[in-house]
Structure formats: C-alpha cells, structure tokens
Structure 1
C-alpha cells in the first residue's frame, strides 16, 4: 500500500499595506488538494493518459502525482492481474473496457512490450508519458526489488524462485519474465524459446530496455505533443508534467519519491511552489 503524501504550503501573512507580519507553514490533506485541483483535471482536452515507462522508473510516483492532480487513476494490481496475461494472447477487450473507467494508467500491462501501440489506436487523442531512468541504475533497482520481494539476496534468485513466487497469483511472475525478458528466436527451429540462462543478464536486460525506449521515441517522432519523456530523478517539480497535461500555469509543486527499494530513498513530502496555487488550496 502506498504511504500517504504530506502536502505543505509555506508563505507569509501580510497586512494590506504589504508588510510581513508572520511566516506560516501549513499541512494539507491529499484529499483536500485533490478536491481543489480536480476541476482543472476534469477539464482536460485529451482522452486518456498512459504511463508507459518500465517498472522501477518512477511509475508509482507518477501515479501518486496524477492522483494528487485530481485525475482518476486505475487500480494497478487489478489491471495487472486481470489483463496482463490476456494481452500475451492478443486479447484486449477486457483491458479496453477497464480503461474507459479511468483517466490515468501505469505499470503492467501499460509498461510492457508494445502495448502502447494498441492503446494509441484504441484511444485516439491520448497522452503518453515515458518515465526513463539511467539504464544501469534501472537494472540494479529492478534486480534488488525482485530479490527483496522474493525474499532472497541479490544474485541468489533462481528460475525456481521465479516460478514459485505467487505475487498476484501463482505463475504470474514466471509467465511475464518468460514473455518479456527471456524470449528469443531460435534460428534453427524458427520459433521462440524461453532462455532461462538470460535471467538477470545485465547486458541482455539493458539491451531490451534501451531497444524499447528507442521504439517508443521513433513511433512518436512526428507527434512530440503526445509524448513526454521524463526522468523523475532529475526533476525538482511537477511543472513539466503539468504543462504537458495542459493544466493551468500555476499548478506546480515538488515531486515526491515512492516505492524505492531502499526505504531511506523515499520522500513523501510535497511542497507547493506557486503562490497562486497556494492561495487556491488555502481557499483565498
């Protein structure tokens, strides 16, 4: 379960003449901030917004930001459990039906393979956010995260551990790992085989990670207004995201950090960075 954000507004109380009488620092509830920002979110001119970055690139943080901004965010685990394996068989109907209920989507199946192509066709006029991270850092984070969830040390996770891991349901991680990370074409057999010797092969994983990035950038090369590429580790505020979503110019606050493998790297504090936004949130 994602911990709660702490939203803070700082500023100064003033006399009407303009002289400062006291500084203040107030904490606001996420529900309260969301309520104030929701009218701007629901006035959107685009269709849906899909975060298509890989796991461990800030996708959970993106979900928290979009929720705070007032958008309706799809339940991640429900979407993954009910639709991910269907897509591996070319079945998209249930996914499309669920998408119609929400504004924003992230993680599986949206972070997987070429799913974005089908989404772009089925939901024209949508926005796509590709969360990116340095490949080396991404790989190390992915390996640590999966090892931690499985309960093994890094370097000790075996194919059997993957097969036996029952997150969401039995076999879910195994099926996904085979399909997206271990599948290769056997030239002699002319068919796909699942090569478990590639499990956590750093060069192989990073090659696939970069290859998918390049596919996304090439696909949207003539539609840059529909794609935002962002490295959340290098951003101080939500401004690039708010501008991409065509929100008012005063929507600006700091970016938190969620779901880091090491708890010490998480930051659940959000500071409002625009005085006009502070006035709106405080009801002035």
Structure 2
C-alpha cells in the first residue's frame, strides 16, 4: 500500500527548507518550487494542474506554489497529510523583505497580488495574505485534525512532532536547521545560490 502524500503548505521563510531536508532524511522524495518561470496569470489558471501532475512522481512537496493549492491537492490525493509551518509574522516579513527587497517576481505577484509583486513597501499586504492563509488552512482542516500538523521550528518543533504525525521512528541525527541568515552570509552559499538561479533548475529547492 502506497504511503500518504505529504504536502508542506507553509509559506516561504517559515522553515520550508529545513522541512525539505527532514523529509529527505525520512526517505521522502520531495518536490520543491514548480512553475518558476510562469507568469502570475498562468500560475492562477494552470498552477493547480501542474502541482497535481508533478506530484505523481513525488512523495512530498514544499515551497511555492504548493501552499496556495492545498484544497485542490487534497481533492486530487485523498488521504494525504498536510504540514503548515508558521513563525512570528513580523519576523517572517522581515525575512521575506530581506530576501526579495524591491525585486518583483511572478510568484510573489501570484500569491500577494500584481500590485504587490515585491515585499518592499507592501508590508501590510504580505502580512494580511500570510494571516489569511493560516486562517484558511486551520478552518479547512477543523474537522480533520489528524490530517494537519502545525509546526513552528523557531519554537523548537522538530523530529518528535513530525515523526509522531507521520508515524515514523525519530532519527538519531539532529533535526536539520537550514537557510539561517548566518548561512546566507557565507561566500559558498552566495555562489551556490547564484549558480542555481543561473541554471534555473526546475525542481531544485528554492531555499526561501
């Protein structure tokens, strides 16, 4: 019997890269960002179908635009498990703004609106969308608490919560902590990120 699909539906900068590493350690083949080069309009029209089709070849998924399509993914893959990563909203926005700044992107335009395609100058819009997503997810799974795990990695959630939710043994190694601000200051990180952006790898983790 195939194990349940796992969908990580927390927004960027909520610990998604750490969760990607954790799921990989647990043996899940995990998809990351898809539709990277698509316009916001195409993502809105075809993004759900892209995610559903991509998932046929993976055990789990995280990064954008997966969180936006949690309802469609739930309908397409009954019995799946969903993980919502959260962090303090102000710290989350500071991290998003520090990463993207005034750089507009199609994925941000899709999630936050064409008029807020860059976080700089759009703090309230980003905070509103972030809060609405949490409310929507919690409301959707209100009658199915066993299908949703809410994690806050900054508050210490890790293997115990994740493995308990998935029914797996806790690994002996520490829970991975990835993409900290101190990591992003290193030369090797900047070089790897630049190479990744230049190559535009289709399913490489976005690390955001």
TM-score, shorter chain, exceeding 0.5: yes
User: Relative to 1, partners in 2 of residues 1:222 and 1:63: Cα closer, same or farther, differing over 3 Å?
Assistant: same
Structure number, greater radius of gyration: 1
Q: How many residues align?
A: 185
For residue 264 of structure 1, report the CA deviation from its aligned partner: 7.4
- Residues 84 and 231 from structure 1, CA distance in 2 versus in 1: closer, same or farther, beyond 3 angstroms? farther
- Cα-Cα RMSD: 2.7
With normalisation by structure 2, the TM-score equals 0.77
TM-score (norm 1): 0.58
- Are 2:108 and 2:116, in contact at CA under 8 Å, matched by a contact in 1? no
**Residues 108 and 131 of structure 1: is their aligned pair in 2 closer, same or farther, counting only changes over 3 Å?**
same
| Structure with bigger RCO (C-alpha 8 Å, 6+ apart) | 2
Provide the C-alpha distance between the structure 2 equivalents of 1:95 and 1:243, rounded to a whole number of angstroms: 26
Q: Where is the helix percentage greater, Structure 1 or Structure 2?
A: 2
Q: C-alpha separation between the residues in 1 aligned to 2:184 and 2:15?
A: 16
Choose the corresponding residue for 1:121, options 75, 78, 92.
Answer: 75
Counterparts of 2:172 and 2:63, CA distance in 1: 24
Name the structure 2 match of 1:73. Answer: 30
Question: Is 1:242 the counterpart of 2:173 in the alignment?
Answer: no
1:61 is aligned to 2:31: no
Question: d(CA) in 2 for partners of 1:140 and 1:130?
Answer: 19
Deviation at 1:139, TM superposition (A): 0.4
Gaps of 5+ in 2: 187-208
Compare the two structures and name the one with the higher strand fraction: 1
CA–CA separation in structure 2 for the residues paired with 1:264 and 1:108: 20
Q: Which runs of 5+ in 1 are unaligned?
A: 1-42, 148-156, 163-172, 184-193, 267-284
